[in-house]
Structure 1
């Protein structure tokens, strides 16, 4: 492993982060477990950053990929593509967006790029509203709307971005308010912001902020925002790269927690739909999707192999009610972790919904983020056979827990026991 690590450092950029003081090479997986090159077995509570959505080496997906690869691997969007049309039909129907059109990309970053292109083209404006503490990808345009300093390496931007409050419920100037008062204050902040600008193209928001530490506003905030946006003709882009496909348990899409507003104008997705294959995409009403007045194709978006994987994966997800499993097992896991956290002074908050759970760590007796504690728990959990992630807008002090949606009750308890041991060491 030392040899591979040295080779990695010699050819891969320094800013490509690796977990662990002694990085591991994952060689294979099955179900909710993976193995490293030394033969160590781990329970996977991060799923390749929320991407292995159903299970590792899911036979239905593996079979679909193998069979399609044996027929045709690539053609581009210049030719009719049956798996792409089939997956687009299913996603359009599931999106809730009327007269929906679907465009496939290779990543969530590219999906958000496309959404920004559509919104700015449709509205003839390059002004974008984004949420504080947000993250939308690593491209030039996506970085320029990212409200998380740790993930924004440049202030240069093709867009004029204005940041709105509301994505983080338990920190900031409105944290002490009730949910209703919090929403009222955030709406007032939005109204005031719009009073100082004009011709805004869109608001882009994650229903639950992923990299930001699995934070979210009270249910209904984006519905209240939508009423303001509609008065100004501003589009709403819901970034469902991490929240889509039933991961939050209660809803298939994160926007549905704010459902009285109806579906967003534009929805972006990626990660879980491919179960590890590179699939992203955008859903929008036809009038928005068709607003581009220049040629555009995708060489790799919608490839036959990744689309076959997406169709098989989505079928498995729906047929086995993995959204319901995320609600049941995730709800149990959240309560179990809250019970543990009650006696651990370093835990400020356990939050989340479904199988999208964050544990925020602070220095005991204070509200000060403790990234070193998060790093310590990450290492100790791996030693105990559990892989988790970390994030947060406050110096990466949040443990991120997002297992495959097929997680069993026994596996949830197994992971909780490892976390209990590691957290109590703090």
Structure 2
């Protein structure tokens, strides 16, 4: 056991998860690569949990942070903040939400907390619809709407949560239906549920479930839900903490695959926009955002330094068409992994879109999740110089692939080759 690991265990909570039998200390990075304390180089296919969105040590972001820190690091939202206003203007325009207002936080958890506060206040209801297999953060209220027991340590909650079918396409009671039948069944279930309760405040849903293992419904499900919700005045919150900023390739926001009945009432974001800096936030229609009748501030949300990073990172993302790169390189990587998995009985499914890809592992010849195999592949990939993630609602048996959006074709091929060798090592 390394000295740092021993010190970690002595002062930090036992429930603070660490990857690997021999935990890894990452000391620096560049592009799509990072190095550990022993000087070993790794191809990073997880980006600090989908957070290093463009590249490690991106010069444009590093320069913006350095220059802003040299002027002033912190003021708070009690003062006018030019970088915050500039980034808010851009995000409001990109969101697709009419008459949008933006509130910045320091994390996706805090963003979802804020969205829940707004929804329950606006609707005067503490009932929330959430998806089974979902994850929305670590706080008390976010845990209370998380539909994944592996990340929900308590049943206590300030909210009454009702869980809806539809987030997982290939498991559950509707798995054998066609896409159209699946959507129809989920909508019928939602209508039936709403017929038995007072109208909830909102539905919160990840367009692609992140911690849940990169699962997703057929395109159009949330549009069909939206029609039902609008009839009853129920809000739709799109949790874009992992899906936003072009990661899915086909769309800038995940909700756009379900946008036939208009944009969500609110979307939450975080992770990738800061490229490692702590930025989260909520975009909402003005009447929803402005519904609070008491004062509020954010001490660290909208910090001049993080906003400078977000502006520089967003500019780089748009000018270099990283969404298009995610679509092209991600599509190639998915097809490469599907070709590999066709020969491996322990791989149940390759799913995802863009550079958000899941590999679900099961015990060969069964539909039973195999978390031991996922842990073994994670370790084997690390040994060969590749960092990946894992998750899933069925005992973390899904490998999660989410590299920076600037990933090259050569790097995608290198990662796929390592993954193939790691997967073949598992019985």
Q: TM-score, normalized by length of structure 2? A: 0.99
Q: Residue deviations 1:82-128, cap 9 Å, x none?
A: 00000000000000000000000000000000000000000000000
CA–CA separation in structure 2 for the residues paired with 1:199 and 1:164: 14
CA–CA separation in structure 1 for the residues paired with 2:321 and 2:179: 31
Tell me the equivalent position of 2:300.
300
Tell me the equivalent position of 2:70.
70
Q: How much has 1:261 moved relative to structure 2?
A: 1.6
Tell me the equivalent position of 2:286.
286
Q: How much has 1:60 moved relative to structure 2?
A: 0.1
Q: How does 1:107-118 map to 2 (within 5 A)?
A: 107-118=107-118
Q: How much has 1:298 moved relative to structure 2?
A: 0.2
Tell me the equivalent position of 1:234.
234
Tell me the equivalent position of 1:194.
194
The count of aligned residue pairs is 426
Q: How much has 1:150 moved relative to structure 2?
A: 0.3
Tell me the equivalent position of 1:372.
372
CA–CA separation in structure 1 for the residues paired with 2:207 and 2:182: 16
Q: How much has 1:176 moved relative to structure 2?
A: 0.1
Q: How does 1:159-174 map to 2 (within 5 A)?
A: 159-174=159-174
Alignment RMSD, CA only?
0.5
User: Which structure 1 segments of 5+ residues have no match?
Assistant: none
Q: How does 1:8-407 map to 2 (within 5 A)?
A: 8-407=8-407
User: Which structure 2 segments of 5+ residues have no match?
Assistant: none
CA–CA separation in structure 1 for the residues paired with 2:205 and 2:305: 30
CA–CA separation in structure 2 for the residues paired with 1:72 and 1:165: 48
Q: TM-score, normalized by length of structure 1? A: 1.00
CA–CA separation in structure 2 for the residues paired with 1:423 and 1:386: 13
Q: Residue deviations 1:11-44, cap 9 Å, x none?
A: 0100001100001100000000000000000000
Tell me the equivalent position of 1:425.
425
CA–CA separation in structure 2 for the residues paired with 1:158 and 1:120: 11
Q: How much has 1:138 moved relative to structure 2?
A: 0.4
Q: Residue deviations 1:280-315, cap 9 Å, x none?
A: 000001000000001110000000000000000000
Q: How much has 1:424 moved relative to structure 2?
A: 1.1
Q: How much has 1:163 moved relative to structure 2?
A: 0.2
CA–CA separation in structure 2 for the residues paired with 1:129 and 1:24: 38
Q: How much has 1:199 moved relative to structure 2?
A: 2.5
Q: Residue deviations 1:121-148, cap 9 Å, x none?
A: 0000000000000000000000000000
Q: How much has 1:65 moved relative to structure 2?
A: 0.1
CA–CA separation in structure 2 for the residues paired with 1:259 and 1:294: 33
CA–CA separation in structure 1 for the residues paired with 2:141 and 2:294: 19
Tell me the equivalent position of 1:414.
414
CA–CA separation in structure 2 for the residues paired with 1:97 and 1:352: 25
CA–CA separation in structure 2 for the residues paired with 1:151 and 1:283: 26
Aligned structure 1 segments of 4 or more residues deviating by more than 4 angstroms: none
CA–CA separation in structure 2 for the residues paired with 1:138 and 1:25: 23
CA–CA separation in structure 1 for the residues paired with 2:323 and 2:59: 19
Q: How much has 1:262 moved relative to structure 2?
A: 1.1
Determine helix, strand or coil for the equivalent of 1:200.
Answer: coil
Q: How much has 1:365 moved relative to structure 2?
A: 0.1
Q: Residue deviations 1:302-337, cap 9 Å, x none?
A: 000000000000000000000000000000000000
Determine helix, strand or coil for the equivalent of 1:238.
Answer: strand
Determine helix, strand or coil for the equivalent of 2:29.
Answer: strand
